[in-house]
Amino acid sequence: MFQSLFRYLLQQNNDIVLLIGRDGRIVDANDTALSAYEYNRGELLAMNIQDLCAPGDNFDVPETIKGSAGQAIKYKTLQASKSGMVLPVEIIARSASIDNEEMLLCIISILSENEAAETSGDIVNEYKELKKAYEEIKAAYKELAKTTYESFNDISSLVLSKRKEELARKRAEMLSNTDHLTGALTRRAFDKRLDAEINRARRENLSLGVVLVDLDCLEQINDTTGKQAGDEVLKILADFLMQQCRTYDFVGRYGAEEFIVCLPGAGREDSFKKASSLCENVQKLKVPGLDNVKLSASFGVTALRTTVGENIDTIIKRADKALNQAKMDGRNCVRRED
């Protein structure tokens, strides 16, 4: 009876309604969701909620379930349809226990352009940039589609037209792989590159280090000086990490105040030394207009193992365990999980 009632309420709602499992899989959806995201039911129920996030965005289901246990939480973000349309949305999420499984019930409203303009500047700017990039790609493809090779007066016209399409596509790809606030890789883009580096390290018998970085003071900065100052600190830390990396290292934003660094070719000791140097030098960073703010960060370090079953999940799990130890030991320090 409960399931029948739930299905009735699901379909009667004019907003998008999604039921999401703790692992992120989409368990159920109403017809409004199918229409908005442009998928059929079979396609949508075979997906993960992360697949609906716009390029550069992330949906942390376990954290959202935890945060919505006492009351529903509301926030604005970006999602994408099957055709690539970027959708600014408002999500009201609440944890729910269904069939003895903890899930997340999300009611999602697509915002109008005026409503989207009232949300945070970062989301609006990202939405506008992505929308512009996709429009450029569509325009370039239309230009190519209506033009045949024979209709070009000379080969330079064809090259120019194809070049426009290529540049627009690359710009959209860059935006989708880059965190709009800090310029670091998005979590999805970082995971993809890390997975490739793990496979390469195995093939060529190379070392590989991973460092998780957590900014110690972001919550305090946000509370005392405002979120804009906190965003500036995140930009400064990300820029510092990227500048301190070698040309073949790469940095990703892994959470609200967490970054992750991949060090190809670096073993356990080299990775630990690098993290120790970063930890020491973070304290020397200055925030313009906030001379009284002293920055520090905690670091968790690990390295690739040659054991069977080692993968992106196991290596990051060890780095996270080391980072938690650093936090427990008072923060502003480096710990490693070997």
Query: Which contiguous run of DSSP H or E holds residue 64?
Result: helix 61-67
Q: What is the pLDDT of residue 102?
A: 85
Q: What is the DSSP string of 221-286?
A: HHHHH-HHHHHHHHHHHHHHHHHHS-TT-EEEE-SSSEEEEEEET--HHHHHHHHHHHHHHHTT--
pLDDT single digits (tens) 259-268: 999 999 999 9
Q: C-alpha distances in angstroms, 281 versus 249, 284, 307?
A: 18, 5, 34
- How is domain 2-115 classified at the architecture level of CATH? 2-Layer Sandwich (3.30)
**How far apart are the C-alpha atoms of 72 and 93, rounded to whole Å?**
5
Per 3-state DSSP, what percentage of the chain is helix, strand, and coil (rounded to 5)?
50, 20, 30
C-alpha radius of gyration, the chain, whole number: 23
**How far apart are the C-alpha atoms of 137 and 84, rounded to whole Å?**
11
| DSSP tag of 53 | B
Cβ(82)–Cβ(39) below 8 Å = yes
Q: What is the pLDDT of residue 5?
A: 47
Q: C-alpha distances in angstroms, 76 versus 53, 55, 122, 195, 289?
A: 12, 15, 11, 30, 29
Cβ(279)–Cβ(307) below 8 Å = no
- Residue 40 phi/psi, 5-degree rounding, is -85, 170
Q: C-alpha distances in angstroms, 11 versus 21, 47, 185?
A: 19, 19, 38
Q: What is the pLDDT of residue 115?
A: 63
| DSSP tag of 83 | T
Give the pLDDT band (50/70/90) at residue 1.
Answer: very low
Residue 87 pLDDT greater than 60, yes or no = yes
Q: What is the pLDDT of residue 169?
A: 59
Q: Which residue has the higher pLDDT, 204 or 116?
A: 204
Domains 2-115 and 187-336 belong to one CATH topology: no
**How far apart are the C-alpha atoms of 252 and 183, rounded to whole Å?**
9
pLDDT single digits (tens) 113-171: 666 655 545 555 555 666 666 666 566 656 655 555 444 455 555 555 556 556 555 55
Q: Where are the domains of the chain?
A: 2-115, 120-177, 187-336
Residue with structure tokens 């960073």?
285
State the chain's mean pLDDT as an integer: 81
Classified as helix, coil or strand, 126 is helix
Q: Which residue has the higher pLDDT, 136 or 255?
A: 255
**How far apart are the C-alpha atoms of 54 and 87, rounded to whole Å?**
8
Residue 216 pLDDT greater than 80, yes or no = yes
Class level of CATH domain 187-336: alpha beta
The model carries a pTM of: 0.56
Contacts of 105 (CB under 8 A, 6+ apart): 17, 18, 19, 20, 93, 94, 95, 96
Give the residue-averaged pLDDT of 217-226.
83
